[in-house]
Amino acid sequence: MPEGDTVWRQTRALDAALRGKEILRSDFRVPAFATVDLRGFTVSRAYPRGKHLLIETASAEGRTTVIHSHLKMEGSWQLYRPGEPWRRPAHTARAVLEVADAVAVGFSLGLLEVLPAGELDLDFLGPDLLGPDWDAAEAQRRLEADPQRPIGAALLDQRNLAGIGNIYRNELCFLVGAHPERPTASVDLPRILGLAKRLLEANKARSQRSTTGSAARADAASWVYRREHLPCRRCGTRIRQEQLDGRTIFSCPRCQPRDW
């Protein structure tokens, strides 16, 4: 599942392959931008903002355009050599950018838009855990603004801090011993924010995400996420699966008691 570390990693690969190169072909397969043609533009950079992936391009006249995408649940950007078969079905491609030695394809993107740089507005996002604007004190201030909100919902709210998805919110709640429904005011926020920063930094360059410290095996990479009915790795109690605001949460009844 794409989260901030996945976006960071995919963006780094896109930046290495595309930066400074002229776009020879562009194809945006969404109705609103199907007629946009970026041939002749040069890729200035690719960069992440939380879970948003941005590719900035410039024309010879200095006109700057931003390709703004969000991977949502199933999206990904992949790189190919010109003429190389794609690993995902062509009908799921939403964006294609070709330069002399590479083809970047965005598959199953949950959001895709092509905008003049001045029209892109992501100011609503909180501090980015993997960005130069990371500010733990500001993230804590935003979380504290709604003290009775469940911590599991507050962590997912990108207005508080950017980069956490469902995997990390479940794992972080386990690591601090808080059920995801526990009110934010009763959680050790400096600790959970410190752990969030450390986990995303540790995983951003890994192909296999791990929150347990074991990256060798996929089935040992998480504490509670998608481990419903399996024994807790700490105490042996069966992991429970529930719902919070329409999203699945996982917790250990013993390690994360409902005692608030």
For residue 65, the SS3 value is strand
Long-range CB contacts for residues 12-18, cutoff 8 Å, separation at least 24: 12/46, 13/77, 13/79, 14/46, 14/53, 14/55, 14/77, 14/79, 14/104, 15/45, 15/46, 15/47, 17/79, 17/99, 17/101, 17/102, 17/104, 18/43, 18/46, 18/55, 18/97, 18/99, 18/102, 18/104
Crossing angle of helices 136-144/189-203, nearest 10°? 130
Active-site residue (options: 2, 48, 127, 150): 2
**Catalytic residue, candidates 9, 48, 49, 51:** 51
61 is catalytic: no
Q: Is 150 a catalytic residue?
A: no
- 72, 149, 191, 247: which is the annotated catalytic residue? 247
8 A C-beta contact, residue 56 and residue 18: no
The reply to whether 85 belongs to the active site is: no
CA dist., res. 214 & res. 221, Å (int):
6
Is 149 an annotated catalytic residue?
no
Q: Annotated catalytic sites, by residue?
A: 2-3, 51, 247
